[in-house]
Structure 1
Amino acid sequence: MGEAIEQFFASLPARAPAVLRGPTTGAIQLDLTTGNRTDHWLVEMRPGAVRVTHGRGPADAIWNSSADLFERLVTGRAAAMAAVLRNESTYSGNVVLFLDFRRFFPDPPGTRDPRDTARERLGRSG
């Protein structure tokens, strides 16, 4: 398993208060495959908190992905929704958990908030 993936999962509990502000509660099992090996991660989410364990468990949803794709997701080089829609990974179960979990992924490198761009343009013309 790549270092970026390990760091991503390790960072989730500290980042949860800022990311998980809604009422969603549940667990996602992530099955990350490299060749013929699969690593399992269980992410239990509740408002403002996450518990991560390396292994299987009771889950409300299961997400299957290659470890390579997941590393691109955690580094902002791929988008979770696009990966699922292109069938590069599969997801089954409570879709609200997916929508909340994907908020942990970073924006692509070089992405800027459009509000900042608008403020800059207003500052130059005003």
Structure 2
Amino acid sequence: MSNPTANFFDALDRRGHEPLLEEAVGSIRFDLEHDHEVDHWLVVIRRGDVHVSREESEADCVFTGSRAVFDRIVTGRSHVYAAWVRNELRAEGDVRLGRFLQRVMPGPPGAHHPREFARREIRPA
């Protein structure tokens, strides 16, 4: 069975360096509950250099919620802030780090990047 959350974190770790996160320094841990267990994902960001592990160590920011909610977020069917407002995702610590991570979350299915959309629209016929 596919695990969108694991796929997201694996892909994020493979990036190594993410230009959208060059202003960020810190660590974010995600404690995601499912089937009476908790998966831990630790994202360490150092000026765009990203490393993801399954450690349950201390972090500057900790997000807690269900893996089902996070699956919806990483597939673009929900938004981090919307889940937070609905109390489906809770945060402790330096929540500003979540703002940085939001930059690499996928948009809704079928969405287009605004610049790519604009390029297609202004092409001469």
**Shorter-chain TM-score range:** 0.7 to 0.9
Give 1 or 2: higher helix fraction: 1
Alignment of 1:59-70 (within 5 A): 59-70=59-70
Q: Mind listing any 5+ residue stretches in structure 1 that lack a counterpart? A: none
> 2:22 touches 2:49 (CA, 8 Å); kept in 1?
no
Label 1:116 to 1:2 Cα distance change in 2 as closer, same or farther (>3 A): closer
Q: Mind listing any 5+ residue stretches in structure 2 that lack a counterpart? A: none
Label 1:120 to 1:96 Cα distance change in 2 as closer, same or farther (>3 A): same
Label 1:49 to 1:109 Cα distance change in 2 as closer, same or farther (>3 A): same
* Equivalent position of 1:35 in the other structure: 35
> 2:44 touches 2:51 (CA, 8 Å); kept in 1?
yes
* Equivalent position of 2:47 in the other structure: 47
Question: How many matched pairs?
Answer: 124
Aligned structure 1 segments of 4 or more residues deviating by more than 4 angstroms: 115-124
Matched, 1:79 2:79: yes
Report % sequence identity. 36
How large is the Cα RMSD of the aligned pairs? 2.1
TM-score, with length taken from structure 2: 0.85
Q: CA deviation at 1:77?
A: 1.1
* Equivalent position of 1:91 in the other structure: 91
Q: CA deviation at 1:11?
A: 1.1
Q: Deviations over 1:47-78 (max 9, x none)?
A: 12111111201211110011111111111111
Q: CA deviation at 1:115?
A: 4.2
